[in-house]
Structure 1
Amino acid sequence: MSVHKVIIIDDEPPAREVIKHFLKDHPAFELVGEAENGFDGLKLIQSQNPDLIFLDIQMPKLTGFELLELIDNPPTIIFSTAYDQYALKAFEQHAADYLLKPYNRERFEDGLAKALTLMNKSATPVATEALVQDYLQEPTHRLVVKDGTKIDIIPTEEVIRIAAQDDYSEIITAKGKHLKKQTMKHLEQVLDPKKFARVHRSSIVQVSQIEKIEKYGKETHLAQLKNGDEVVVSASGYAKLKELLGW
């Protein structure tokens, strides 16, 4: 019988104890670690390479979904959260299951069975972008970036622009540049559409950072930003800016 490695990431000790208690009756699952916040959880994932994570959402420092953004190939996830039924429906189809606190043994057993079925099928984990986008009901107010072992949390108000860089997106702020392994499409979806505009397939700008816009080509314009950067604006991007700026 193969044994699946499990970790628990939850800031509430009683919640972790409940999961550990229920797991004792399942020899096919081995608890290899637990963490009380997202930072420690990320280190644990990197060192243990678990098959299954019991993951809370609302945690200090780093939320469960921000943590997922930092994992390249997430394992099977069971959310263990106090979020209400309405919010959970958004990602029900992506996770193996969710456990709405407080839950009983029967509900736990059901979730574990779903996770086991998913793992035995060797299913490809769902892209974290889909998980995060379905969870977000409101625009994000910060972006989380991992650089080696360092994690930077960037308030979106500090973002000047974002540029496509192959499989990454480069986030430019007054303090420096950060590479995030996320698509421009995803960032466009999670940023506040009243403050940020996808002006070109390779560029997102914070509208308040635009100093002026000039004609550049037959169907393009050039936006000069307050930091001196210049960004090409496509025809569709220009139409979007006109709408946002009320021109």
Structure 2
Amino acid sequence: MRTLLVDDERLARKELSSLLENHPEIEIVGEAVNADDANEKIAQLNPDLLFLDIQMPGKTGFDLLEMLDSVPNVIFTTAYDEYAIKAFEYNALDYLLKPIQPERLADAIKKVQKKQQQQEEAIVRSREQKLGLNDQVFVKDGDKCWFVRLSDVRLFESDGNYIKVYFENFKPMIHKSLNALDERLDERAFFRASRKHIINLSWVEGIETWFNGGLLVRMRGGDKIEVSRRQAAKFKDMMSL
């Protein structure tokens, strides 16, 4: 598992790194000293797992998780036990108190492995049920209804608790979250460009560099969609030979 250590204390990172040497399934791909540093390295390294300190100068570990479009598996590491309840509200897999005990670390890694196996099995199952370009979907907005082939849908846009569906000259609203929709769509045909947009890759007409390492995608029909910096590298890989 590709792993990033996030802690402002160098000795704490060194101690944890030493403990993880006994776990060959863990590959430490980088270290970060604060939330902003971690945010950049998560975008660059795409880790599967974070060992995340909570109290750091500036932003906390919780602040970091709220900054992310997609959150890796998380094991919190902290010298304080009063954040435990809040940590699990962020779907942390475990909460390790410093100094970290080898037995507790081993238990936490087993939880990650179990979660990763479940995620992989869920991906296999979901791929068998994914909606592709040739599928048709029923769209209802108020009194108006459409039966739309997904190849004709160029864009999905989040708008609060609704999604705006772009096809032809229509933009009906459906009551659904973008995350839920993303799980149903075939990732070979549709791409999660940002927190707000999913685009149909077959409608992409051009790509331009954008601010802060992001991209600007031009769609057939004139729509321009920003790809977040975090998703830009993945998008380039998908669209390259």
Q: TM-score, normalised to structure 1's length?
A: 0.47
Provide TM-score, normalisation by structure 2: 0.48
